[in-house]
Amino acid sequence: MKKQGNEMTPDTIFYVYVFSLLAALAVISLYSELLRRRFEPTPSEDRIFRCEKCAFVYTDDADVDRSRCPQCGTSNDSIKF
């Protein structure tokens, strides 16, 4: 008697195996990316300033164009990268 129905050929077994490995790899990489984003510090919106007089580097709020140096009091422009 001939078997009917659900015979799996070697090709089908190979494709299912490769597909399941790729799906597992995709799930692991997605999970890893989500964990990295959750624990990575968020970038600051502050501007970076460098004093022209004493060379002190400091930050100030993003809405400030010129900032006074906390070391010597000189007013400075933000650094453009």
C-beta neighbour count of 60 within 10 angstroms = 17
The mean pLDDT of 45-49, rounded to a whole number, is 87
Q: Which two three-digit tokens encode residue 53?
A: 């007089």
pTM: 0.48
pLDDT at position 4 is 61
Q: How far apart are CA 55 and CA 77, in angstroms?
A: 12
The mean pLDDT of 60-67, rounded to a whole number, is 86
The residues, ordered by sequence, that sit 6+ positions from 44 with a Cβ below 8 Å of its Cβ are 59
- Top-confidence residue, 42 or 33: 33
